[in-house]
Amino acid sequence: MFCAMCGAEGQSANAFCKRCGQWLPDMKARTGIAFGGETPQQNVFTGLFMNALSSLAALFSALALYVTYLGSSDAKWSIYVAAACCLCIAGWQAASFVVGLKLRRRLTAARRDVSFPEIEHKTNPALGPAHMDDFLSAGSVTEQTTGLLEPVQSPRTEQQ
């Protein structure tokens, strides 16, 4: 596989280019838009967004249950267990969000710190420079051929 950015050959699909660091998706396996994105950076961002959203939803649910039923005589023990579970989910998702932020920061720093070699265009010393003079001065094969044709007599002119 070749890198579309720098042209380096021998690359693996669904990996970073070894020369320039560009993400190389597997074009054969693409079936449509994947949830989360195509690159690892897009997947990390989607994970962060979903962790933050679910953490806030679980925290809101726990608070709504506690505010509604705390100190109420008609509250059952299951309401308090559900609220405690929502708090646990909110804590877990918040911790996952922090881990995702650290991962994102580490991936960004790793890509920034890696120095990729400059792309250089090599020429083949065995081949000389291209000379187009021979091709430009040659006339066309079909140029002025109509003047060389002999007139053909039509069958009607022979009958008369």
In a domain, 20, yes or no: yes
At residue 138, φ and ψ (nearest 5 deg) are -70, 140
In a domain, 159, yes or no: no
At residue 143, φ and ψ (nearest 5 deg) are -70, 130
Rounded to the nearest 10 degrees, how much is the dihedral formed by the CA atoms of 80, 83, 89, 95? -100
Q: Which domain holds residue 87?
A: 39-113
| Proportion of the chain above pLDDT 90, given as a percent | 24
Residues 24 and 52 in one domain: no
Pick 42 or 105 by higher pLDDT: 105
Whether the predicted model's global pTM rises above the 0.85 cut: no
Model confidence at 132: pLDDT above 90: no
Tell me the chain's radius of gyration from C-alpha atoms. Answer: 36
At residue 22, φ and ψ (nearest 5 deg) are -75, 140
Once rounded to an integer, what is the mean pLDDT over residues 143-148?
64
Model confidence at 64: pLDDT above 90: yes
Residues 6+ apart with CB under 8 A from 44: 100, 103, 104, 107
Pick 97 or 128 by higher pLDDT: 97
Give the total residue count for the chain.
160
Give residue 1's pLDDT: 75
Query: Based on the structure, what is the number of domains in the chain?
Result: 2
Model confidence at 92: pLDDT above 80: yes
Listed residues 113, 136, 153: the one ending a domain: 113
